Structure formats: C-alpha cells, structure tokens
Amino acid sequence: MAVLPLEGVRILAFTQLGAGPYAMMLLGDLGAEVVKVEDPIVGGDEARRVPPGTIAGDSLYFQALNRNSRSLSLNLRVAEGRELLRQLVRVCDAVYCNLRGDLPAKLGLDYGSLGRENQRLVCCALSGFGKNGPRASEPGYDFLIQALAGFMSLTGEPESPPQRCGVSVADFAGGLMSAVGLLAGLLRARATGVGGDVDVSLFDTAFSMLNYMVTWWSTLGHKPERFAHGAHQSLVPSQTFRTSDGYLVVMCMKEKFWRELCCCLGRPEWASDPRFATIADRFAHRQELLPLLEREFLLRPTAEWVALLRGRVPCAPVNDLEGALADEQVAARRMLVDVPHPHWGGLREVGCPIKFADAAPRYRAAAPCGADTEPILHDWLGLDPDTIAALRRAGAI
C-alpha cells in the first residue's frame, strides 16, 4: 500500500461542533496529522456533550465528526499558552479554525500573528460570514445560513412554509470548501515558500451554490419558485411521484430519457405528442403531462418501477435512513466503516468519500479531551516532563 496523500501534513485545528471538524476529519482520513486544540477551561469542544449517546467527555456526535483527530489542551488566556502556540506553529504546516469571522485576528490565529514564526504557515479560517462585512462578528449556523442564502425559500411544497434541508448542507459544504482552500494554500506554500490567510465562510459557500439560479434572475429576471413534489425548476418530468406503496424520483434530464420513459410506461405516443416534444414544451404543458404520469406511477409498487426503469431512465426510490444504509452501493464503495472505540466498541461510521486506488483511508476514533497533550509537546517540541508540569501549573495546558 502506498502512503496516504496527506501523510506528513501537520495541522493545528481549533475546531468545534460540525463544519470545521468535518473538514478536518476528511483530511485526517487521507493521512494528515490533525491535532484538535481544545480549551481546558470549558472542557473542550461543546460537541462532546451533544446527545443522544453521551458519556463523560464524549458523544457519538463528537466521534462522528472528529475521527482521526488527536487532542491537545491549550489555554490562550495566559502568556504561557500563547507562547506555546508560537512554538507549535513553527513545526506545523497549517492552523485551521472555525470561529466567528472577527475572532481569528483577536485570538492571534491569523497569518499576521503567526506568520513571523513560520513563513510557510497556512492559516485557514472557516466562519459564518467571513472576516469582513457587516455580519463578520455574528455567529453563523447551518439553519441561519439556509435561511439567509435563500435555500429555505426554494425548499418544500408550493403552499408550505419555507423548509430547511434535513441534512446540514451549509455546514458540510462549508467544511468541504475550507478543506479545498487549505489544500490550495498548502500547494502554494510549497511552491513559493510563503503561506498566508485563507478566508472561507458558510454564507459565501451557500451563496455560491445558488449558481445558475442567480444567473437566471440577473439575466432574465426569472425568479425560481417551488413546484409540487420537489420538481426541478425547468425540467419535466424531474420530481417525486407517488407509487402504489411509496415514492419514486424520476429525472429526465435529457431528451433521450424522456423517450425511454415513454417506452417503459407503454406510452410511446407521448414521445411524439407535440405538447411534450421538447424540454420547453413539457415545461409549458406540465399541467397536462404530470397528471398523466402520476396516474401511471400509481399502478405499481416502487420496487417494480425501479426494476423496470433502472439503467434506462434515471430514477431512485425515496429511501428512509435505514433504506439508504442498506443500498448495495454503500457496501460496494465501503461507505460504512467500523471504528474501534474503548466505550462503544465498534462505532459504525460513514467512510471517506474520496478514494485512492493504492491507499485506504485511515480510521481512528477521536481522542479524549487533552489526551495527546504530553506526547505532542514531547515529540514535536522536545519538552521534558518538568517543563510540561510547569505549563500545567501555569494553566497553559
């Protein structure tokens, strides 16, 4: 087996709750040495206390998001803690944090504060709203971002209240974007010898995901709206249909799929019907077409439709969580993994979505709060037991 692609990359991560830990978990899966820096005064990351499934200093939520991370306790309120940070960044490649946009500079976690200690250092900050602008000092959470960026206005049935996506899409997308930003910064630092700040926000990430809808609006004045059954903004049929025992999503994203669907339904004449001939025609006549399709899909159970359409027309059953876990693709792609844990035994977790042909991802349970403080200070900085004991007495660790 080859070494993992990020072996040798050392990251000090000031992370909490969801978005930042998700980013660091992915980099840790791929070999980076991620050291989670936790505040000993408050007992570390608040995620350690999120139910359900909590024990003293740990939770299933915390483990799901902090796989592979080591834990170092560090108190930046005292001079000895701040000096220790300066020593640590001299032997690191990156400092990462997910705090409010105004806090990295205030806490000395930006390049302006740390670059003099290590010119190659990359300081990546993921925040709710970025380092500037009128909201920079506001906390940002997934639900708030989905509201502000317009996601909720686009989600749900036409007459229903605005709805949040059930998965934390803004948090996870922001985490992914920050991981990309950090890696881009590391590539530049290795090429030039100079690091710098990387500024990523949940709001910017979510706003970027509006993508073609913004272009429609700004160019044509076309305002996206919610259609029944989660239908696509312009492609018909591309939506959820009720079957005799559940729900099915069918997506005719290309003309060939529409023609194939007509054949599968035993309605080849619909493909040549001038009302339904093109994407634009089907959208214009959707009020006529959709009732015809709805009646057809009610005639069979979901599994029969999937068996008939799969490989011919893009489709999927609407799974619950149990159904998603049982999908054969999950096993084929090794997307469920068992991670040993001293309390829970084998934790069943979601695997890394990034695959390398010659190196399997690394999966280790997240460390207890502060568990790696002494080994890290000894191995990275060469500190002896007496010096470490003095740091404890000073409240730095």
Q: State the residue range of the domain holding 288.
A: 228-318
Marked catalytic residue, from 29, 39, 93, 171: 171
Domain annotation covers residue 323: no
Domain annotation covers residue 139: yes
Task: Please count the structural domains in the chain.
Answer: 2
Q: pTM of the predicted model, to two decimals?
A: 0.90
Q: Where is the domain boundary, 292, 318, 344?
A: 318
How far, in Å, CA of 60 to CA of 53, rounded? 5
How far, in Å, CA of 127 to CA of 30, rounded? 23
Specify the CATH number for the domain of residue 26: 3.40.50.10540
Q: For residues 154 and 296, state if they share a domain.
A: no
Active site residue 58: no
Query: What backbone phi and psi angles, to 5 degrees, belong to 62?
Result: -65, -45
- Note down pLDDT in tens along the chain; length 397 residues: 689 999 999 999 999 998 999 999 999 999 999 999 999 888 888 899 999 998 999 999 999 999 999 999 999 999 999 999 999 999 999 999 999 989 999 999 999 999 999 999 999 999 999 999 999 999 999 999 999 999 998 888 888 899 898 899 999 999 999 999 999 999 999 999 999 999 999 999 999 999 888 898 899 988 888 888 888 888 889 999 999 999 999 999 899 999 999 999 999 999 999 999 999 999 999 999 999 999 999 999 999 999 999 999 999 999 999 999 999 999 999 999 999 999 988 899 999 999 998 899 999 999 999 999 999 999 999 999 999 999 999 999 9
Q: For residues 73 and 131, state if they share a domain.
A: yes
How far, in Å, CA of 166 to CA of 378, rounded? 44
Domain annotation covers residue 183: yes
Q: For residues 82 and 119, state if they share a domain.
A: yes
Q: For residues 269 and 376, state if they share a domain.
A: no
| CA-based nearest residue to 179, from 335, 20, 355, 9 | 20
